[in-house]
Amino acid sequence: MGAFSLITDTERRVPRVVVVGLASCFGCQLQITNAEQYLMQILGQIDLQYWQLVTSEDMPDQYDVAIIEGAVTTRESEETCKAVRAKAAHVMAIGACATTAGVTGMAMPGLDGRIAEVYGDGLPDASGEFIAPRPVSAVIPVDSEVRCCPIDPLDFVAMLQRALFGSNRSLDTRTLCSDCKRNETECFYNSGTLCLGLVTRAGCGARCVNLGRPCNGCAGLSPDANLDAARAACDTYGVSRADFDKALEMFNQVNPVLAESGDE
């Protein structure tokens, strides 16, 4: 069938892809390479024109799909996003930094003081002009997102295929707990332990919980997250509300919902 959704019939060709890195640890770009056994197959479906992790060249001028990793933390990266949006038919944000501002978002409160604290008077030019950290979607419309810190390589492959071929598969906005029930793992709340699964978007299959660790919320708040109900659940199960709100800051510091629903 090959109904490629990005390109009209007259110009059917292998889609040109670029991978751009903003403020991040580059771990999600690295994760792409961890799709090892499938990597060549994936490369066979696209024309990879630029991958920031592995090249020092400049980005090409024309492309169809742009994959952005990392948070927007400078005026320059904001401009990069806008330029990418103007050229790409499909923009995909990958990783917690790009989709939620991630850990860079934690710098948000008292940002100016922090910069001075780190750099003193000697802020290098290469740092660019700092702005409040934000996810890519706060700057430009994003067509698709691969969540979590780091991304799952196969999630990335699936999302790339979605961008290439189209899919009517619904993207769940439900929160994580039903995955724990499917996995039949014990709920941390039953032993009074904080877990962010109550409000975090499902999709990872609750892999941290499967490894015995509570969810730290790296997939970000679900748009349907019910913070009030979750805080009430904390009360019921003897978990501190303050701890719950504090834990949310790691991956959701800049989410406006968090500011709006402040408990105190």
Apex 158 CA angle, 3 and 60, nearest 5: 75
**Looking at 75, 82, 174, 213, which residue binds another protein (CB under 8 A)?**
174
Taking the complex as a whole, the smallest distance from the CB of residue 209 to another protein amounts, in Å, to 12
Q: How many CB atoms lie within 10 A of CB 199?
A: 27
Site for another protein in 218-237 (CB under 8 A): 222-226, 228-230, 232-233, 236-237
261 lies in the site for another protein, by CB under 8 A? no
Please tell me whether residue 40 adopts helix, strand or coil conformation. Answer: helix
178 lies in the site for another protein, by CB under 8 A? yes
Tell me the residue type at 210: N
In the shown chain, the binding pattern of residues 95 to 134 toward another protein, with x for contact by CB under 8 A and - for none, equals: ----------------------------------------
Site for another protein in 6-45 (CB under 8 A): 8-9, 35, 38, 41-42, 44-45
Measured CA to CA in angstroms, residue 255 lies from 22, 146, 251, 261 at distances of: 19, 17, 9, 11
The structure tokens listed for 96 are 């917690």
186 lies in the site for another protein, by CB under 8 A? yes
Backbone angles phi, psi at 149, to 5 degrees: -125, 100
Q: Is 128 left (phi over 0), alpha (psi -120 to 50) or beta?
A: left
Taking the complex as a whole, the smallest distance from the CB of residue 85 to another protein amounts, in Å, to 21
Site for another protein in 59-78 (CB under 8 A): none
Closest C-alpha among 96, 163, 98, 105 to residue 136: 98
The site for another protein (CB under 8 A) is made up of 1-5, 8-9, 35, 38, 41-42, 44-45, 154, 157-158, 161, 164-182, 184-187, 189-191, 197-199, 202, 222-226, 228-230, 232-233, 236-237
